[in-house]
Amino acid sequence: REQIGKLSLLIDTADTLLGGGIETQSITEFYGEFGSGKSQITHQLCVNVQLPKDNGGLHGRAIFIDTEDTFRPDRIDDMVRGLPDEVIQATMIDRGIDGDVDDAAALNELVDHVLNHIHVAKGFNSAHQILLSEKARELAGKYADTEWPVQVICVDSLTAHFRAEYIGRGKLAERQQKLNKHLHDLIQLANLHNTAIVVTNQVSSNPDSFFGDPTQPIGGHILGHSSTVRIYLRKSKGNKRIVRLVDAPNLPDGEAVIRIVEPGLKS
Ligand code: GTP
């Protein structure tokens, strides 16, 4: 078994909360209501995963399974330019890009390079989403022994299609079974290729629904699995968001505050 990698958010308080970052060989679930920042986190991780290991990254590429049409290349552009200067510099050197943070052409080249190492696949329904996780496994295999292995796979949103397609209590068991199988496939892939899996999940906003507790993710907590870390995202004042670690097996529960700003997620 390869050594577990840690993918940093580049936010000290949040990284400390996570025990150093998002782990490979594991599934990390971000859940929260609309606008809580779930998609922003997945975008930021697709950037950070590509940073040199000394700068909090995993020197790898990303796969983004996009089920709600949330992927925005422009946002990746913001986040690359929004990295700390010394991280940009180190990343340019790592990629053999000539120039520095004040060099517009070099910065553009860096943005293009980062975008080219994010594989975006749109999932049109739950069956297609499952198929895409099989494609992700093939892609991870293809790049396994290359300079840029797949180091993170984001599924944003994990549950939206399942929720829309399996409606009512009569379908709940089937939905859960399909979701569990999907997650099982993902965790196998994570173990096989030492990859981090990051999934997003909405919380219920309907007080009459089966999972009516607004602090509970749709479908209950995904997989009561030891390799799953759950993080609850909650809106605070303005651009502030509270990141709360929930029931992590080896880490104390706790919270950190982050901000969603133009250059990305910051302290
Ligand atoms: P749903 O997809 O609706 O469930 O929400 P989500 O949890 O995925 O939220 P998302 O990550 O889309 O976060 C939306 C929030 O991020 C917005 O309310 C904005 O505050 C912030 N945001 C999104 N894009 C930008 C941007 O380009 N610049 C800045 N400064 N903030 C942004």
The torsion angles phi and psi of 239, rounded to 5 degrees, stand at -90, 5
Q: What per-residue confidence (pLDDT) applies to 220?
A: 57
Buried b (16+ CB within 10 A) or exposed e, 173-208: eebbebbeebbeebbebbbebbbbbbbbbbbbeeee
The answer to whether residues 226 and 23 touch, using CB atoms and an 8 Å cutoff, is no
Length of the chain: 267
Residue 238 burial (10 A CB sphere; 0-12, 13-18, 19+): exposed
Cα 208 to chain centroid, rounded: 30
State which ligand 1 atom lies nearest to the alpha carbon of 32: 7
Name the 3-class secondary structure at 134.
Answer: helix
Q: Which of 79, 234, 260 gets mutated to test ligand 1 (max ligand atoms within 8 A of its CB)?
A: 260
Question: How many angstroms separate the CA atoms of 226 and 158, rounded?
Answer: 19
The confidence score (pLDDT) of residue 216 equals: 61
pLDDT value at residue 251: 85
What pairs with residue 152 in β-bridges? Answer: 62, 196
Q: Which one of 31, 33, 34, 39 would you pick to mutate in the ligand 1 pocket, going by the greatest count of ligand atoms within 8 A of its CB?
A: 39
pLDDT digit string (tens) for the chain, length 267 residues: 789 999 999 999 999 999 999 999 999 999 999 999 999 999 999 999 999 999 999 999 999 999 999 999 999 999 999 999 999 999 999 999 999 999 999 999 999 999 999 999 999 999 999 999 999 999 999 999 999 999 999 999 999 999 999 988 899 889 989 999 999 999 999 999 999 999 999 886 654 444 445 556 655 555 555 458 899 999 999 999 999 998 777 888 899 999 999 999 999
Q: 40 alpha carbon to ligand 1 midpoint, in Å?
A: 6
Distance 39 CA to ligand 1 centre (A): 7
Pick from 198, 260, 214: which is nearest to 18 by CA?
Answer: 198
202 CA closest ligand 1 atom index: 4
Question: Which pLDDT value is given to residue 87?
Answer: 98
> For residue 261, which atom of ligand 1 is closest to its CA?
30
Q: Which atom of ligand 1 is nearest to the CA of 39?
A: 11
Ligand 1 center–CA 32 separation, angstroms: 12
